[in-house]
Structure 1
Amino acid sequence: MKNLLVVFLLISFGALAKGTVVCADSIQLRRHVYTITGGPTFRNINDTTTLNKTSHYIQNELGKYTTTVTLQPYQVNGKEYRNIIASYGPENAPRIIIGAHYDVCDEQAGADDNASGVAGLLELARMLSKEDASKWQYRIDLVAYTLEEPPSFKTANMGSTVHARHLAEAHVPVLGMISLEMIGYYKDAKHTQKYPLGFFKWFYGTRGNYITVVKKLHGGKFVRQFTRGFKHGDNIITKVFAAPSWVPGVDWSDHLSYWAYGWQALMITDTSFFRNANYHEKTDTPDTLDYSRMSFVVTNLFNAVSKMAKG
């Protein structure tokens, strides 16, 4: 018993010496995913009632952790759609954008695509609220986008396109952008991971048990710094995929909207349909996700971006 007490004291002293350790909560991630995917209707472009209900939930959750939450409404074919933005750090400092889309394709729950990314965004908001952001050199904006999915994908109607265009027109300095696009699905068995080009399996393996940082070749200083910080966490396998944007999947999320303005951007993903057969299917449900590994992803994300924000 005495030896156990000594070990406990040593661990506690070490934690205090290093500062408070902030970790993502898998229970909170699960709660967010189940809430966002709950209900009889679907948060797609045709159902603005459900989309708005989801946006209200996101806005209320973000409002628990920062007083700076704003809506960015815009019109498409006479209907209103909304981005939700939560900010941390000095108002006029260059920005780090972290975003995830909350809409779905057609009529399906969209647990991995992309309630998982939005849940990560909301949990990150809670974690960032524990930091003294007034001393940061950069500002972090968390953005929940609407209308990433078809038929809006790669059009001016994407929420991320609207957001990026506003920043460019307002001459807002952007350090870089991180897209959270499906972060909840993992498989440990062999041959559960596929690739856009078959030979990639010789470099990345056939087990779908890792998270991926997807970036352009020669992504830039922001991308390099973030990737180093994100990979520093040893609680989940992380693999970096660097390729030209023409390789299938490299630009398939909201980060492409920021590339269009010359800003550095990357995507964090479980590789979507290259692993998850539930992609854009009614089987993309909350019970298929691994909330423990999701929490590791968000913890590593927090550690990387909070360090970068401090300069």
Structure 2
Amino acid sequence: MSAAYRRAADIVAGEFGALGYAVRRQRVPVPAGVSWGVAVPAGTTVNVIADPPGFDAGRPHVVLGAHLDTVPQAPGAEDNASGVAVLVELARMLREQPAALPVRLVAFGAEESRGSGWRWYAFGSRHYAARLGTSQRKAVRAMVSLDRVGRATAAVPVCHGGRGSTAVAEKLRAAATDRTRACVNRASDHVSFERVGIPAARIGSVPYDAYHSSADRPAVVDPSQLRRSGNVVWTWLRSL
């Protein structure tokens, strides 16, 4: 785990803790590999998990997640500080107006790929999903990944991973008061949940020139798009 990632995890954990969530770090082993042309060593990262007071992982709930890492050459403003920012804001809103189902929030480590194929990316979310017991897995009624949610676009992308139920994406779109569009995306943490039978969806994935480059800085993120992306999730949560 790099010093920069450790600082980011501490910041997010502090934000969750200040809102009254019970916060813990789940350690995740990560293999050596090549991340978008840059060799990276084996090591350990963490998922930052935040639960509301009284949360019981064995009872029905939903999971909202956003990956906290980026690739070595990118500051990661859109990919994926944008998703983390919306996740933290939704955490604040949920403390003021809890949803009908409890919501667990997770900032996932090591989403970015270290090689070719699905086994070489989304290490944090795959680790999380693989370690759910049978009753805990059944208790997760839906998972939504917030990934690259800040690029201006006419319609918020609401994607499923193509490996499971499309119900979560459909319900997100049905509840939305903002314009959305359907899509299939197999490259984020929602796929880890689909693979173990948990209905999941992804918000975001608009292409942009600064993707995985040193130019992925705050100027590429549109605050209005952050609001629209967050609102799609919020209206869905209110509909549960």
The alignment's TM-score, normalised by the length of structure 2, stands at 0.84
What is the match of residue 66 of structure 2? 100
Matched residues in 1 for 2:198 and 2:118: separation? Answer: 17
1:265 aligns with 2:210: no
Q: CA deviation at 1:167?
A: 1.6
> Structure 2 counterpart of 1:215, which letter?
H
- Kept in 2: contact 1:85–1:143 (CA 8 A): yes
Q: CA deviation at 1:86?
A: 1.2
Q: CA deviation at 1:298?
A: 0.9
- State the Cα deviation string for residues 21-44 of structure 1 (Å, max 9, x = none): xxxxxxxxxxxxxxxxxxxxxxxx
Matched residues in 2 for 1:298 and 1:71: separation? Answer: 24
Residue correspondence of structure 1 range 233-272 to structure 2 within 5 A: 233-234=177-178, 237-241=179-183, 243=184, 250-271=185-206
Q: CA deviation at 1:263?
A: 1.3
Which has the larger Rg?
Answer: 1
> Structure 1 counterpart of 2:190, which letter?
H
Matched residues in 2 for 1:169 and 1:76: separation? Answer: 24
Q: CA deviation at 1:60?
A: 0.1
> Structure 1 counterpart of 2:66, which letter?
A
> Structure 1 counterpart of 2:197, which letter?
G
1:280 aligns with 2:215: no
Task: Name whichever of 299-308 and 69-78 sits farther off.
Answer: 69-78
What is the match of residue 82 of structure 1? 46
2:112 to 140, 149, 157: 149
Matched residues in 2 for 1:145 and 1:85: separation? Answer: 8
Higher strand share: 2
Matched residues in 1 for 2:11 and 2:4: separation? Answer: 11
- Kept in 2: contact 1:100–1:121 (CA 8 A): yes
Matched residues in 2 for 1:220 and 1:149: separation? Answer: 24
1:61 to 11, 15, 19: 15
2:160 to 205, 211, 215: 215
Task: Name whichever of 151-160 and 286-295 sits farther off.
Answer: 151-160
1:228 aligns with 2:174: yes
- Kept in 2: contact 1:184–1:270 (CA 8 A): no
Q: CA deviation at 1:90?
A: 4.3
- State the Cα deviation string for residues 179-226 of structure 1 (Å, max 9, x = none): 11101111xxxxxxxxxxxxxxxxxxxxx4321101256834444323
- State the Cα deviation string for residues 87-122 of structure 1 (Å, max 9, x = none): 236424212111110111122101110110011111
The percent identity for this pair of structures is 27
2:142 to 172, 176, 193: 176
Q: Which runs of 5+ in 2 are unaligned?
A: 32-41
Any idea what SS the aligned residue of 1:261 has? coil
Matched residues in 1 for 2:156 and 2:170: separation? Answer: 17
CA change 1:181–1:81 in 2 (3 A) is same
- Kept in 2: contact 1:128–1:306 (CA 8 A): no
1:290 to 201, 222, 240: 222
Any idea what SS the aligned residue of 1:155 has? helix
Q: Which runs of 5+ in 1 are unaligned?
A: 1-46, 187-207, 244-249
What is the match of residue 194 of structure 1? none
Task: Name whichever of 84-93 and 259-268 sits farther off.
Answer: 84-93
> Structure 1 counterpart of 2:124, which letter?
G
Q: How many residues end up aligned between the 2 structures?
A: 224
Matched residues in 1 for 2:51 and 2:110: separation? Answer: 21
Query: RMSD of aligned C-alpha atoms?
Result: 2.3
Q: CA deviation at 1:132?
A: 4.4
